[in-house]
């Protein structure tokens, strides 16, 4: 697997995904072992922003597993001047419906100071491109209610709402 992707200069970005002209734009690359704590911190920040409960130790275990194995999907990192400023995680799932491994964009986060500068769009374009390289037939995602800016980005990139409602059951609590 390649270690770096310079999507800023190699992908013909649609206008809505074009990076800003700032010469200090982040590099988009794959997750490395030295990124673990930065990715954990960004995931904690994202979950905190959305008021979603989390366990930092469990997040760290998952990120470590993602470094160790590509079977669970891939993580792309946006880095500027040795600072991780965003990331995207696409999980791999074996889909009976699609008859092959497929993808779920589980996370896409950009730190507030780097938002509205094309970083989220670049991460999304890179994730889509790599999912195509893996020959995944689809990439699905969910958006937190009220997060219209994220939903608009996904719609512009070609994602469409499906006719399903996603549900969740917390299995960590004892059954009633």
Kindly report the average pLDDT of the chain as a whole number.
87
> How is the chain split into domains, by residue range?
24-156
- What's the pLDDT tens digit per position in 2-54? 444 444 343 343 443 444 445 568 999 999 999 999 999 999 999 999 999 99
User: Cβ(88)–Cβ(123) under 8 Å?
Assistant: yes
Q: Which CATH superfamily is domain 24-156 in?
A: Gcn5-related N-acetyltransferase (GNAT) (3.40.630.30)
Output the six-digit token pair for 108. 């896409």
User: Would you say residue 1 has pLDDT above 50?
Assistant: no
Element (H, E) at 77: strand 73-80
More confidently predicted of 48 and 71: 48
Query: What does the pLDDT look like over 124-144, one tens digit per residue?
Result: 999 999 999 999 999 999 998
Alpha-carbon distance of 103 to 93, in angstroms, equals: 6
pTM of the model: 0.84
Determine the pLDDT at residue 19.
Answer: 46
């Amino acid at each position: 697997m390649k270690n770096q992707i310079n999507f800023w200069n190699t992908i013909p970005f649609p206008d809505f995904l074009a990076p800003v002209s700032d010469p200090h734009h982040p590099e988009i690359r794959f997750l490395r072992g030295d990124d673990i704590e930065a990715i954990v911190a960004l995931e904690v920040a994202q979950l905190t922003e959305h008021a979603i409960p989390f366990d930092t130790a469990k997040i760290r275990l998952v990120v470590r597993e993602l470094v160790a194995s590509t079977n669970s999907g891939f993580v792309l990192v946006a880095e500027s001047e040795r600072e991780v400023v965003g990331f995207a995680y696409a999980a791999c799932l074996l889909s009976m419906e699609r008859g092959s491994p497929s993808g779920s964009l589980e996370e896409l986060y950009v730190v507030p100071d780097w938002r509205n500068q094309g970083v989220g769009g670049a991460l999304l374009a890179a994730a889509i491109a790599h999912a195509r390289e893996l020959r995944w037939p689809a990439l699905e995602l969910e958006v937190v209610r009220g997060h219209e800016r994220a939903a608009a980005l996904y719609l512009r990139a070609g994602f469409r709402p499906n006719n399903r409602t996603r549900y969740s059951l917390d299995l960590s609590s004892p059954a009633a």
